Every structure is written in C-alpha cells, then in structure tokens.
Amino acid sequence: MSETIFSKIINKEIPSDVVYEDDLSFAFRDINPQAPVHILIIPKKPIPQLTDAAISDQELLGHLMLVANKVAEMEGVVDAFRLVLNNGAGAGQEVMHMHFHLLAGRSFTWPPG
C-alpha cells in the first residue's frame, strides 16, 4: 500500500492540529478549511478509498462514524454538521487515504456541488 501524506501525519512525521486520536482513528484540522470547523477523520489503517474497504473493516467504518459524533460534540457543533467522503478522483478525492470531512459552523446548501 503506497504511503500518503496522511500516513506521515498519523506517524507525526508531519505536524498537524490534532483534535482526537485513538488506536484506530485520527482526527485533525484540514489545512485548507472550507468552513469554520473543518476536521478530517481518518482510519489509521491506510485504506485508499471507501470502495477498497472490506467486510473485515465493518467495525472500523462504524467506529469512524462514532468518532465523528465525538468530534462534533468536542467542537460544540453536534446540532449541525456535514460529513463528506469523496470516493475517487472524479468525486474530488485528492489524498488516497480514505477520510471523512467534518464541516460545521456555517450554513450549507443542497445539492452540495
């Protein structure tokens, strides 16, 4: 599995503004925030994109959603946040280490564009 910048962030080879960390996951502030709160939630396991996840990753994927709830609570945005996952370059994924964007602190439109 090829290493991405997110592996280096998890390993603290590259500094980041860490919001939350546990054995399975890592959450840190996006370097290019698209909202007042913009946090990336990633598995420590380097799954390139969601469609690479296997049945054996089921618990991990559920865990990431619960981490999103926890991070939203910590940031005081539990009432309104958006969770975005870009799967594949065509959907806007630039870093091939799957990640959720947790966005909050402004109003959002639908469809997301």
Which residues of this chain interact with ligand DGP, rule CB under 6 A?
5, 14, 16, 28-32, 40, 86, 92-95
Residue number with the smallest Cβ distance to ligand DGP: 31
Other Cβ atoms within 10 Å of 45 Cβ, number: 14
Cβ proximity to ligand DGP: between 28 and 81 the closer is 28
The answer to whether the beta carbons of residues 17 and 29 sit under 8 Å apart is yes
> In angstroms, what is the minimal distance from the CB of 60 to ligand DGP?
19
Question: Which residues of the chain form beta strands (DSSP E)?
Answer: 18-21, 25-29, 37-43, 82-84, 100-104
28 by DSSP, 3-state: which? Answer: strand
Q: How many angstroms separate the most distant Cα atoms in the chain?
A: 37
CB of 50 to ligand DGP, least distance (A): 11
Residue whose CB is less far from ligand DGP, 9 or 77: 9
Is 38 catalytic? The answer is no
Which residue out of 38, 63, 97, 99 is catalytically annotated?
Answer: 99
Output 27 or 77, the one with its CB closest to ligand DGP: 27
